[in-house]
Structure 1
Amino acid sequence: MSRIVVFGAGGRAGRRAVSEAVTRGHQVTAVVRDPAKYRQLAGDGVSLVAGDVTRADDVAEIATGHDAVINAAVRLDIPSEEFFVSGTHALLNGLGRAGVGRLVLIGIGTTLEAAPGVMVHDAPGFPEEGRVFSLGHAAALAVLREAGPEIDWLVLAPPPIFLDDAAPRSGRYRIGGGRLLPGGDGTASFSYADLAVALIDEIETPKHHRTLAAVAA
């Protein structure tokens, strides 16, 4: 049994990660900015706490005594690059102070390569608003790649589609490298439930280290 922190536990991906971890017998600290809005998350195996992933002090305090951290936090009310870069710096700083070595983050499929050297968000005709959001993820990835070896991080990037929040857990998924997986370009669906399986698998038995990895059905 591990003790796992999930930042952004109130979102679709975060809720699924919490549920998957608890089902497997792990103890979870679910972090949200306003616990009053997410009281339903608290229960057996889950402690609900307030915290801000962009504050290193919050990260350090919450993560102390835990074995791993998942970051599923997203904010749309501030610029993408500002949020994801500040959050990444805070995670690296806070987890280093807390002595937590494993960090698994949810990325975005538009930062994967559609062709050698060409990210999905750089393809001709890609919507500008989506590109700006994706560039925030890319900037955060650059921060991770420049960080020291103390934190064993992994960014899992699901396909660049709207994930299925209703599909049941199948337990099946594929993990690749930094390029879109065959069928992972939007031609096949992928569920939040199976994304959560991949997240917890990479905490229980880490197989990918300090890299961006595509994950798809």
Structure 2
Amino acid sequence: MSKIVVFGAGGRAGRRVVAEAVSRGHLVTAVVRDPARHRDLAGDRVALVAGDATDADDVSAAAAGHDAAVSAVARLDISSVEFYVGAARALLDGLARAGVGRLVLIGIGTTLETAPGVMVHDAAGFPEEGRAFSLGHAAELEVLRADGAGIDWLVIAPPPVILDEHASRTGRYRTGGPEVLPADGGFSYADLAVALVDEIEDPRHHRALVAVAP
């Protein structure tokens, strides 16, 4: 049994990470900006707390006493680059202060490569709004690579498609490197959560961007 702190626990991905971790017997601290909106998350094995993933003091306070952290954070009301860079820096700082060495982050498939050094969002005609959001994740990755030597971080990126919010958990997935993995079907939030919790229970990838696919 581990103690896992999940930042962004109120979102579609974060909720499934909480559920997956609890189903395996772990204790979870679910961190959200407004606990009043997510009271249903609290339970026997889940402590619901307020916190801002872009504030290193909040990160350190929420993460103290935990074995690993997950970042499933997202915001659409500010610049994606500003948000994800700020969150990456605060997470690295706060987790180091709290003594939490493992951080698994949910990435985005549009930062995976279609050729060496060429991300999905670099394709001609890629929607500008989607590219702007994806660039925030790319900037986050740059911060982790530059400043994350003290934390065993991992970014897990699902395929560059809309994830299935309602599909049941299968427990099956493949992993690769920073390149897009060919996939015939869609991928679910539930199985993305499986991949994240697997990497906490049995870390196999370290300080890297890793693609997952069905």
- With structure 1 as the length reference, what TM-score do the two structures score? 0.97
Query: Are 2:70 and 2:104, in contact at CA under 8 Å, matched by a contact in 1?
Result: yes
**CA deviation string 1:39-94 (max 9, x = no partner):** 00001200000000000000001101000000001000000000000000000000
Instruction: Give the equivalent residue in structure 2 for 1:155.
Output: 155
Q: Secondary structure at the match of 1:44?
A: coil
Match of 1:22 in 2: 22
Instruction: Please name the residue that 2:38 is paired with.
Output: 38
Q: Calculate percent identity across the aligned residue pairs.
A: 72
Aligned to 2:102: 102
- CA–CA distance in 1 between the matches of 2:114 and 2:122? 9
- Distance in 2 between the 1:62 and 1:148 partners? 19
Is 1:8 the counterpart of 2:22 in the alignment?
no
1:208 and 2:200 matched: no
Q: Distance in 1 between matches of 2:117 and 2:46?
A: 42
Whether 2:181 is the aligned partner of 1:191: answer no
Query: Over aligned residue pairs, what C-alpha RMSD do you find?
Result: 0.7
> In structure 2, what is the Cα distance between the partners aligned to 1:103 and 1:200?
11
Alpha-carbon distance in structure 2 between the residues aligned to 1:109 and 1:192: 13
Q: CA deviation at 1:188?
A: 1.9
Specify the alignment match of 2:111 in structure 1: 111
Residue 123 of structure 1 corresponds to which residue in structure 2? 123
CA distance, structure 2, for counterparts of residue 155 and residue 116 of structure 1: 18
1:66 alignment partner, SS class: coil
Task: For residues 117-155 of structure 1, give each alpha carbon's deviation from its aligned partner in whole angstroms, at most 9, with x where no partner exists.
Answer: 211000111011111110110001000001242100000
| Distance in 1 of aligned mates of 2:82 and 2:162 | 23
Structure 2, gaps ≥5 residues long: none
How many angstroms apart in 2 are the aligned matches of 1:66 and 1:117? 35
Q: Calculate the TM-score normalised by the size of structure 2.
A: 0.99
Equivalent residue letter for 2:186: S
User: Any idea what the Cα deviations from partners look like across 1:82-110, whole Å, max 9, x if unmatched?
Assistant: 00000000000000100100000000000
- For these two proteins, the number of residue pairs brought into alignment is 214
Secondary structure of residue in 2 paired with 1:53 = coil
Off by >6 Å, runs of 4+ in structure 1: none
Equivalent residue for 1:89? 89
What stretches of structure 1 of length at least 5 have no aligned partner?
none
